[in-house]
Amino acid sequence: MINLTINNKKLQVEEGTTIFEAAKLNNILIPHFCYMENVHQIGSCRICVVEVEGGKTLMASCVTPATEGMIVHTNSERVRDVRKVIFELMLSDHPKECLSCWRNQNCELQDLGNLIQLHEFRYEGAKSKDVIDSSSPSIVRDSSKCILCRRCVTVCNEIQGVGLMNPHHRGFSTFIGPSEDELLGESVCTNCGQCVLVCPVGALKEKDSTAAVWEALYDKSRTVVVQTAPAVRAALGEVFAYEPGTLVTGKMAAALHQLGFDYVFDTNFAADLTIMEEGSEFLERVTNAFNTKEKNHVLPMITSCSPGWIKFMEHRYPDQLAHLSSCKSPHMMLGALTKTYFAEKMNIDPAKLFVVSVMPCTAKKFEITRPEMFSNGLADVDAVITTRELGRMIKDAGIDFRSLEDGEFDSPLGLSSGAADIFGTTGGVMEAALRTVYELVTGRELPGIKLHIKPLSGLNRIKTAELKIENPLPAYSFLNGVTVKVAVTSGLKGAAELLEQIKNGTSPYHFIEIMGCPGGCISGGGQPRPVNDAIRTLRLEAIYREDEGKLLRKSHENEDIQMLYRDFLGAPLGHKSHELLHTVYAQRSKN
């Protein structure tokens, strides 16, 4: 243990603790800016400097380890003085157009200003950059607002392994982004939006789609359908000052009705459908491998719900695309069904239908522009808004979210099982699939407390599990004694690790779930800020609560899904399914 003194308070901390952490553990707040716990501690902004007695200079507390006998002052005259000057320097290279900035009142630079109380701007001068790149359907980069904290650099490189956001040039000319002439929309950007999630200011933001949605809502000739992803209900409340982890499913449905959507559907319905299709596809591949022993079987199969992950795969492992499930992501399935099954049923001209997806995700904005996502010349989904954008629309419409009575999803694309809920979190798709597949193969329920596969949940980067098949139904007798090996990862760096194994031929797995964002959709690029592991955990627990609160826990038991197959699709992997619910992938270049 290390003994140190901070602001005359004697403290004991473990060796290796930084001054910043030591202070925090003892309820001393050191103003900070670029710091992100456990993720980004590089000491670049210098806001968190403190005075260490005997030191020639001040120390960045986020990177300086506490040492024995250290005497630290976090609020000395010098510290407060320089903190103000550094903040002024940040502002001197930042447009002060706060009122028109989309981050107004939700901006870490404003928060910092509030904290350290600045009342004059002494240093004015050159602005270093002014490029606005809106080439991407998902993310807009406004370099004029960038204050070079480099959080996006860390996330894009260390967490996601994409390596696109980087510092370029030197000195005052330094800028962060893809290289000088490269546009986000034409780059290897996966559109995951993790950079948007960590940007403290308005330099990185989702491409706004609310205008298009408002326009559709005001257009009387259109029938506007909205669907919401599983993870949205576990985070939307945070926009309205609910504690992280508060489920607001009912209020969300009510708010969507009040906004004027004609039908409020649930992407969860399509999540159940995904399990039927993807589960069947997995069984088909397993059958090829173990029964007919086809040489060309492709295992492991990898989930395909996460469009950021898909684009990453297309750029980095274009020769491994056969491992991807051919299933579209759930909201694309629901979009396609809305414009066919639902349109037929309600006798609505599909061209008059406008489908909006509310997603925790920025990559879905890109996904709907893919040429594969059009059926009969119509886009499966017309607009994607993020959880944050929905929050803005609700506020803009003057809806008092907190006082709303719970509403319901509409039929026939609204009923879902608990298995669909857990699609919102890492490990959830795999668990949902196994609940169905195991039962189809053995005729018995998936073993495990409350139908959960414990090793697959939680925030560890790579999680694995094994499931031994014993006494299967006669149709699957060839699987008797087989141990099915599965792996789950979230975040693209983990994905790359698993893909390298596949590439080298050393992957022991049969089935892999990959979600592009760390923690899965609960902390997708379109979710409310801030996101850290504590908040991830709270959202994750909310998702499992939603699952366990339902009587219907398995996708194949969803009666509306059964009706859909009976009335419209026929069987999983059937002709219609292939046409509407499955897709193909593109080979893209690595750089």
Partner 1 sequence: MYPVTELIKNLADRHGRERRNLLPILQGVVEQEKYLSEYSMIEIARELDLPASEVYGTATFYSFLEYKKMGKYIIRICKTITCSMKGKNQIIKTIEDMLKINVGETTPDGNFSLLQTNCLGFCHKAPAMLINYEVYTDLTPEKVREILTNYINKKGREE
Partner 2 sequence: MPSPAYLLKRVDFIFKDEKDWKEILKNSINRPAHELINELISSELKGRGGAGFPTGLKWKLTAEVDDSIKYVICNADEGEPGTFKDREILSKVPLKVLTSMAVCGHVIGSKEGYIYLRGEYFFLQPELNKSIREFKDYCNEINFDFTIRIFMGSGAYICGEETALFESMEGKRGEPRNKPPFPSTYGYMGKPTVINNVETLAHCYTIFEYGSKRFYDLGVQYSRGSKLFSVSGDTPKPGIYELELGMSLVDFVDEFGDGDTKAVQVGGASGFLVPRKGFRETTIGFQGKLTGISLPTGGSMMLFNSSRSMYNVLDNYLEFFREESCGQCTPCRVGCQQLLNGIKAVKRGEKNALYLNKLMRLTETMQYTAKCGLGQSVANSFSAIVENFREEMIY
Residues in contact with partner 1 by the rule CB under 8 A: 157, 162-170, 178-182, 187-188, 590-591
Q: Which is nearer to partner 1, 77 or 181 (CB)?
A: 181
Is position 278 annotated as part of the catalytic site? yes
Catalytic residue among 21, 281, 513, 546: 281
Q: Report the nearest approach of partner 2 to the CB of residue 146 (Å).
A: 12
Is position 180 annotated as part of the catalytic site? no
Residues 572 and 578: beta-carbon distance below 8 Å: no
Q: Quick one: what does residue 122 bind among partner 1, partner 2, none, with the CB cut-off 5 to 8 Å set by partner type?
A: partner 2
Q: Considering only CA atoms, which of 66, 56, 108, 62 is closest in space to residue 87?
A: 108
Catalytic residue among 149, 152, 195, 305: 305
Cα(298)–Cα(320) distance, rounded to whole angstroms?
A: 10
Question: What are the distances in angstroms from CA 271 to CA 1, 230, 511, 516, 558?
Answer: 50, 9, 17, 17, 11
Q: Which is nearer to partner 2, 171 or 474 (CB)?
A: 171
Q: Quick one: what does residue 43 bind among partner 1, partner 2, none, with the CB cut-off 5 to 8 Å set by partner type?
A: partner 2
Cα(339)–Cα(331) distance, rounded to whole angstroms?
A: 12
Catalytic residue among 129, 145, 251, 364: 364
Say if strands 378-379 and 374-375 run parallel, antiparallel, or are unpaired. Answer: antiparallel
Q: Quick one: what does residue 82 bind among partner 1, partner 2, none, with the CB cut-off 5 to 8 Å set by partner type?
A: partner 2
Q: Considering only CA atoms, which of 285, 283, 366 is closest in space to residue 329?
A: 366
Residues 191 and 311: beta-carbon distance below 8 Å: yes
Q: Quick one: what does residue 468 bind among partner 2, partner 1, none, with the CB cut-off 5 to 8 Å set by partner type?
A: none
Q: Report the nearest approach of partner 2 to the CB of residue 555 (Å).
A: 48
Q: Quick one: what does residue 481 bind among partner 1, partner 2, none, with the CB cut-off 5 to 8 Å set by partner type?
A: none
Q: Quick one: what does residue 590 bind among partner 2, partner 1, none, with the CB cut-off 5 to 8 Å set by partner type?
A: partner 1
Q: Considering only CA atoms, which of 350, 548, 366 is closest in space to residue 448?
A: 548
Please report, in angstroms and rounded to a whole number, the separation of the first and last CA atoms in the chain: 48
* C-alpha dihedral (421, 359, 375, 412), degrees to nearest 10: 40
- DSSP letters, 375-436, are ETTEES-SEEEEHHHHHHHHHHTT--GGGPPP--PPSSS----HHHHGGGSTTHHHHHHHHH
Residues 70 and 119: beta-carbon distance below 8 Å: no
Residues 187 and 162: beta-carbon distance below 8 Å: no
- Which residue type sits at 503? K
Residues that bind partner 2 (CB under 8 A): 42-47, 49, 57-58, 60, 63-65, 78, 81-82, 85-86, 89-90, 92-93, 122-126, 128, 147-148, 167, 169-174
Cα(244)–Cα(246) distance, rounded to whole angstroms?
A: 6
Q: Which is nearer to partner 1, 56 or 170 (CB)?
A: 170
Cα(207)–Cα(200) distance, rounded to whole angstroms?
A: 17
Cα(427)–Cα(445) distance, rounded to whole angstroms?
A: 18
Please, where are the H alpha helices in 221-266? 236-239, 249-259
Q: Report the nearest approach of partner 1 to the CB of residue 164 (Å).
A: 5
Catalytic residue among 21, 206, 238, 367: 367
Strand, helix or coil at 20? helix
- Which residue type sits at 103? R
Phi, psi torsion values for 374, nearest 5 degrees: -120, 135
Separation of CA 175 from chain center: 26
Is position 521 annotated as part of the catalytic site? yes
Q: Report the nearest approach of partner 2 to the CB of residue 35 (Å).
A: 13
Q: Which long-range contacts (CB under 8 A, 24 or more apart) does 567-570 make?
A: 567/341, 568/340, 568/341, 568/344, 569/341
Q: Which is nearer to partner 2, 92 or 210 (CB)?
A: 92
Q: Report the nearest approach of partner 2 to the CB of residue 128 (Å).
A: 8
Q: Report the nearest approach of partner 1 to the CB of residue 496 (Å).
A: 11
Q: Report the nearest approach of partner 2 to the CB of residue 473 (Å).
A: 56
Catalytic residue among 51, 206, 238, 278: 278
Q: Quick one: what does residue 179 bind among partner 2, partner 1, none, with the CB cut-off 5 to 8 Å set by partner type?
A: partner 1
Q: Which is nearer to partner 1, 176 or 343 (CB)?
A: 176
Q: Quick one: what does residue 148 bind among partner 1, partner 2, none, with the CB cut-off 5 to 8 Å set by partner type?
A: partner 2
Q: Which is nearer to partner 2, 66 or 499 (CB)?
A: 66
Q: Report the nearest approach of partner 2 to the CB of residue 59 (Å).
A: 9
Catalytic residue among 372, 439, 541, 548: 372
Catalytic residue among 128, 187, 306, 325: 325
Bond prior to 447 in cis (omega within 30° of 0): no
Q: Quick one: what does residue 404 bind among partner 2, partner 1, none, with the CB cut-off 5 to 8 Å set by partner type?
A: none
Q: Which is nearer to partner 2, 33 or 317 (CB)?
A: 33
Q: Which is nearer to partner 2, 199 or 399 (CB)?
A: 199
Is position 101 annotated as part of the catalytic site? no
Phi, psi torsion values for 490, nearest 5 degrees: -135, 145
- Which residue type sits at 430? M
Is position 445 annotated as part of the catalytic site? no
Catalytic residue among 521, 546, 555, 577: 521
Residues 512 and 465: beta-carbon distance below 8 Å: no
Q: Report the nearest approach of partner 1 to the CB of residue 180 (Å).
A: 7
Q: Which is nearer to partner 1, 198 or 535 (CB)?
A: 198
Q: Which residues does the annotation mark as catalytic?
A: 278, 281, 305, 325, 364, 367, 372, 521
